[in-house]
Amino acid sequence: MNTDASEVPPAGPPAARRHEPSRRQAQADTTRSQLLLAAERLYATHGISEVSNRQVAEAAGSANNSAVGYYLGTKSDLLEAMLSAHNDPIAQDMKRMVERTAGSPHLHDYVQCLVRPYTDHLARLGTPSWFARVIAQVVTDPTLVRTRLFETTLGPTMRQAFSAMWPQIAAAPEGTVEMRQHVLRNMVIHTCAEQERLAHHSGTPADWELVSEVLIHSVTAILTHVPECAADPSDSAPSEHSGDPDPTV
């Protein structure tokens, strides 16, 4: 009989040992998802700055107050993971729409590329949802707006859509382009955040198809309107970030 200890199999059922790592990973993924969802809900209802990682862990049902740090990292890491989880599918839809729209002479088509992937994503989240209210805070918080939180897959795709759109509004004074971009961003983000809030409190799902249509037509009208008293860009000092793409788009 061969009694070499190196050939003696370890104790325990082989199947159990084989599945143990995958089971632990699945449990970790579940905990991580619960933490992200709890953070999203708390951030939307109480404000990002008012919520601690400990409160997030408690809301997720974790007995470990350090769960966020263990599974996600810092608060910035948590926000980055949250944004990426939403931005990735939005960016994929947006990229497909931009590719299909390439060459269109209609500004409406390009505005649709920027609006509809976002409203469609919010519709898929169901009621209640929290993400629109979180992103509305991120884009107005000076401590977050110019951080790596916007260095996600969504940013480059949105800039691609914007670059294809601007030639369609060549009549707009050059000095108003960046301002119009900010108006577009704020109109879409804050309108959606308000619709999400109303749906949450009323219990009636938002009509995201209607929201999308209203935004697309409203933004198109704003982008094509040329102010009679538009300032000559040569008369104004260059902005602090002149020439740099807006990190929030």
The span from the CA of 88 to the CA of 84, in Å, is: 6
Q: Please state, for a pLDDT cut of 70, what percent of the chain lies above it.
A: 76
Mean pLDDT lowest for which of 33-37, 56-60, 63-67, 174-178? 174-178
Q: Tokens 């509004």 map to which residue?
A: 169
Q: Residue 231 above 50 pLDDT? A: no
The architecture that CATH gives domain 75-249 is Orthogonal Bundle (1.10)
Q: In sequence order, what are the residues at sequence separation of 6 or more whose Cβ sits closer than 8 angstroms to the Cβ of residue 228?
A: none
Q: Residue 6 above 70 pLDDT? A: no
pLDDT at 198: 97
Instruction: Determine if the pTM surpasses 0.75.
Output: yes
Position 243 confidence tier, pLDDT thresholds 50, 70, 90: very low
CB of 216 within 8 A of CB of 106?
A: no
pLDDT tens per residue across span 184-225: 889 999 999 999 999 999 999 999 999 999 999 999 988 887
Angle, CA of 36, 65 and 52, to the nearest 5°: 60
Section 232-241 average pLDDT: 43
pLDDT at 184: 86
pLDDT tens per residue across span 157-166: 777 777 778 7
The span from the CA of 164 to the CA of 131, in Å, is: 27
Q: Please state, for a pLDDT cut of 90, what percent of the chain lies above it.
A: 48
pLDDT at 229: 56
Section 70-87 average pLDDT: 91
Q: Say which residue, 154 or 212, is predicted with more confidence.
A: 212
pLDDT at 150: 58
pLDDT at 233: 46
Residue 230 DSSP code: P
Position 246 confidence tier, pLDDT thresholds 50, 70, 90: low
Domain ranges of the chain: 12-73, 75-249
pLDDT at 131: 96
CB burial class (10 A; 0-12, 13-18, 19+) of residue 178? middle
Q: Say which residue, 38 or 231, is predicted with more confidence.
A: 38
Q: Which of 147, 129, 149, 100 is nearest to 37 (CA)?
A: 129
Section 129-153 average pLDDT: 79
Section 137-154 average pLDDT: 71
Distance of CA 50 to the CA centre of its chain: 20
